[in-house]
């Protein structure tokens, strides 16, 4: 039963990853067809992220009331509906409307599944879990690239992915009986729901929230704008840029697969420090004034560096703040992660409108430095 349940959780994270990276890969084509400024991708990202923040903040209560199985199934249904809506959209306003259920479907499932694995499984399982997200994140842009290169249009790309989500929904619905035995998250006891104010007062929480904020700023800014950066600054054709951008998520996916092995030997904080070092190297390579291939290598390295940070920070949560508080802390961690998604990639879009998209590596560097400082302060407080 444990093995089957893990398989279902992995499948659930594939469904989370599938839609996460396709907006950035399709946007160079979408904004021209919809006749809107390039920065409007940030507006859609804001709506999606706002929905995830709302649902993340409610994850503690929802998981205690419904159990992780039902929360996961309902969330994937919402996402499948939203993606199908994207596939039939013919205007920017329609995309904005369907972005609402798109975002609401992501937050609670992310928080409850992450806490479930952090409490009951070792760190290498967490890395594999997020590797499955990477499988989805890599598959999504490649499906979109297939639709674009075969002149089927971006709507068809969203349609294909919505059909995959519906298939994953069916698997989750059939798996609901498995979840009933694991509805109580901490040693068979229901935990008390904590308010945002109560969680923020816990020692070290402010620092870890800033880490999640900046981490998602780095990851999502690179993922959302890499295709446009390659197309508009490096001169790579739109279809090829979409495929190149997917390499960033391949870096994350391959890295998390490797992390599953490395995590058998190393502690969570060491894994995070390794990731930060690789990101720094990737930024340096990306800044080098050279061909698009060198830029691509830099993006892959940034993806590799991102790989261990998110799962390792989450897995460390019960040890850092206590098992009884972990669901509440992880829910708010997810909320701050999505605040990073909501605010930071769109912010760069507006910066690019008034300056130049070539500033993307500089922007990523600033977020990286803040994340590094916050992480080291966190280690001092929880030591």
CATH ID of 2-176+193-382, from 1.10.630.10, 3.40.50.12780, 2.60.40.10, 1.20.1250.20: 1.20.1250.20
**Predicted local confidence at residue 57, as pLDDT:** 83
What does the pLDDT look like over 19-77, one tens digit per residue?
877 887 888 888 888 888 887 887 888 888 788 888 888 877 777 777 777 888 888 88
Measured between alpha carbons, how far is 357 from 347 in angstroms, rounded to an integer? 12
Closest residue by Cα to residue 344 from 370, 358, 363: 363
Measured between alpha carbons, how far is 341 from 44 in angstroms, rounded to an integer? 11
- Within the chain, what is the greatest distance between any pair of CA atoms? 57
**Predicted local confidence at residue 309, as pLDDT:** 93
Side-chain half-sphere CA neighbours of 222 within 13 A: 35
Q: Read off the pLDDT band of 1 (50, 70, 90).
A: low
Q: Where are the domains of the chain?
A: 2-176+193-382
Q: What's the rounded mean pLDDT across residues 167-180?
A: 79
Q: What is the mean pLDDT of the chain?
A: 83
Helices 68-87 and 59-66, packing angle to 10 deg: 120
Q: Which two tokens stand for residue 305?
A: 């560096």
**Predicted local confidence at residue 96, as pLDDT:** 92
Q: Read off the pLDDT band of 175 (50, 70, 90).
A: confident
Measured between alpha carbons, how far is 99 from 303 in angstroms, rounded to an integer? 25
Nearest 5°: the CA angle 331, 336, 339 is 130
pTM: 0.76
Q: Read off the pLDDT band of 182 (50, 70, 90).
A: very low
Q: Which two tokens stand for residue 124?
A: 């290498």
Measured between alpha carbons, how far is 299 from 292 in angstroms, rounded to an integer? 10
């Amino acid at each position: 039963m444990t093995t089957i349940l893990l398989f279902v959780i992995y499948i659930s994270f594939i469904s989370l990853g599938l839609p996460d990276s396709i907006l950035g890969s399709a946007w160079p084509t979408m904004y021209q067809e919809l006749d809107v400024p390039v920065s409007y991708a940030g507006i859609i990202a804001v709506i999606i992220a706002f929905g995830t923040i709302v649902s993340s903040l409610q994850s503690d209560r929802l998981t205690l009331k419904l159990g992780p199985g039902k929360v996961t199934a309902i969330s994937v249904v919402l996402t499948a509906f939203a993606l199908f809506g994207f596939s039939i959209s013919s205007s920017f306003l329609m995309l904005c409307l369907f972005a609402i259920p798109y975002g609401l479907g992501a937050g609670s499932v992310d928080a409850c599944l992450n806490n479930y694995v952090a409490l009951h499984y070792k760190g290498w399982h967490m890395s594999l879990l997020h590797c499955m997200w990477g499988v989805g994140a890599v598959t999504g842009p490649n499906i979109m690239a297939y639709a674009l290169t075969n002149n089927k249009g971006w709507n068809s790309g969203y349609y294909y992915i919505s059909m995959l989500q519906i298939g994953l929904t069916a698997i989750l619905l059939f798996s609901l009986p498995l979840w009933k035995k694991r509805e109580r998250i901490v040693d068979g006891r229901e935990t008390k729901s904590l308010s945002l104010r109560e969680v923020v007062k816990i020692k070290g929480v402010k620092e870890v929230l800033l880490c999640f904020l900046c981490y998602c700023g780095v990851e999502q800014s690179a993922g959302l704008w890499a295709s446009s950066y390659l197309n508009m600054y490096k001169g790579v054709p739109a279809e090829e840029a979409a495929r190149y951008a997917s390499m960033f998520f391949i870096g994350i996916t391959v890295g998390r697969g490797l992390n599953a092995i490395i995590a058998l030997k190393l502690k969570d904080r060491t894994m995070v420090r390794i990731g930060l070092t690789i990101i720094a190297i990737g930024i340096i390579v990306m800044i080098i004034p050279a061909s698009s291939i060198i830029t691509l290598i830099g993006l892959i390295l940034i993806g590799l560096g991102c790989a261990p940070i998110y799962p390792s920070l989450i897995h460390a949560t019960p040890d850092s703040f206590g098992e009884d508080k972990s669901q509440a802390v992880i829910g708010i961690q997810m909320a701050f992660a999505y605040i990073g998604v909501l605010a930071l990639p769109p912010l760069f879009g507006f910066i690019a409108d008034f300056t130049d998209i070539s500033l993307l590596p500089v922007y990523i560097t600033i977020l990286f430095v803040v994340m590094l400082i916050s992480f080291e302060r966190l280690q001092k407080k929880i030591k």
